[in-house]
Structure 1
C-alpha cells in the first residue's frame, strides 16, 4: 500500500480553491479525466457516485467514483472519494481545505493506493515511491495554479 499526506498554503481564498473540486471544474485539476458524469445522488453529498473515464497514453479506463465524505461550510471544505482502477487498485483520495488566519487557504491532500489482488500488492511493494510523491506534488501545483487563474 502507498500512502501520502501533503499540505500547503494556497494564496487564494477558500471558495476560489473549492470551486475546482466541483463536477464542472474537475477536468481543470485532473486533465487526464476525459469524462465525469454523476450517476447517483448529488455532487454535494456523501454517497454520490460518478462514472469517470481516465486516459493514460492511448488507454482509456472507466470506473465508478464514490464520494465517502462531503462537507462545505464557510471555513472548512472536505471531499473524500474512492474508486477501484483496473480491478486491481483501490484508491482513496481526501481533499481538505481550511481558511487560514490571513484569509488564505490551507490545502491538505492525503490518500492511499491499496492493492486488492496478489499481483497488485506485489506491484505496489516495488512501486516507485518518489514517482508517487512527484504525482502528488504535481496535482497540488495544478490546484494552486488553477485557483490563481480563478474561473
Structure 2
C-alpha cells in the first residue's frame, strides 16, 4: 500500500480553488480524466457516484468514483473519494481546503493506493514511492497553477 499526505499554502481565495473541483472544471486539474458522468447524485453529496474515464497513454480505464466524505463551509472544504481501478487497485483520495485568510488557502491532499490482488501489489511495488510522490506533486502544482490563473481573471 502506498499512502501520501501533502500540504501547500496557495495564495488564492478558498472559493476560487474549490471551484476547480466542480464537475465542469475537473479536467483543468485532472487532464487525464476524459469523461466524468454523474450516475447517482445524493443529497448532501456523500454516496454520489460518477463514471470516470481516465486515459493513460493509449489505454482508457473506466471506473466508478464514489463520494465518501464531503464538507463545504466558508472556512473548510473537503471531499474524499474512493474507486477501484482495473480490478487491481483500491484508491482513496481526499482534497481539503482550509481558509487561512481571504487570499491564502491551505491545500491538503491525502490518500492511499492499495493493491487488491497479486498483480496490483506487484505493480505498486514497481511504481514505488518515488513515482507516486511525483504524481502527487504534479497534481498539487496543477491545482496551484490553475487557481492562480483563475484568480488572475477576477
- Give the Cα–Cα distance (whole angstroms) in 2 for the partners of residues 103 and 27 of structure 1: 24
Query: With structure 1 as the length reference, what TM-score do the two structures score?
Result: 0.95
- Give the Cα–Cα distance (whole angstroms) in 1 for the partners of residues 32 and 69 of structure 2: 23
Query: With structure 2 as the length reference, what TM-score do the two structures score?
Result: 0.93
Aligned to 1:29: 29
Please report the RMSD computed on the Cα atoms of aligned residues, expressed in angstroms.
1.5
For structure 1, which runs of at least 5 residues remain unmatched after alignment?
none
With over 3 angstroms needed to count, the CA separation of the structure-2 counterparts of 1:20 and 1:122, relative to structure 1, is same
Aligned to 1:49: 49
Deviates more, 1:84-93 or 1:127-136: 127-136
- Asked whether the equivalents of residues 27 and 33 of structure 1 are also in contact (C-alpha less than 8 Å), the reply is yes
Deviation string 1:51-78 (CA, Å, 9 cap, x unpaired) is 0000011111100000001110001000
Q: How many residues align?
A: 151
Q: Give 1:130-149 correspondences, 5 Å limit.
A: 130-149=130-149
Spell out structure 1 runs of 4+ moving beyond 2 A.
125-128
- Asked whether the equivalents of residues 95 and 109 of structure 2 are also in contact (C-alpha less than 8 Å), the reply is yes
- Asked whether the equivalents of residues 23 and 43 of structure 1 are also in contact (C-alpha less than 8 Å), the reply is no
For structure 2, which runs of at least 5 residues remain unmatched after alignment?
none
- Asked whether the equivalents of residues 69 and 79 of structure 1 are also in contact (C-alpha less than 8 Å), the reply is yes
Deviation of 1:49 (Å): 0.2
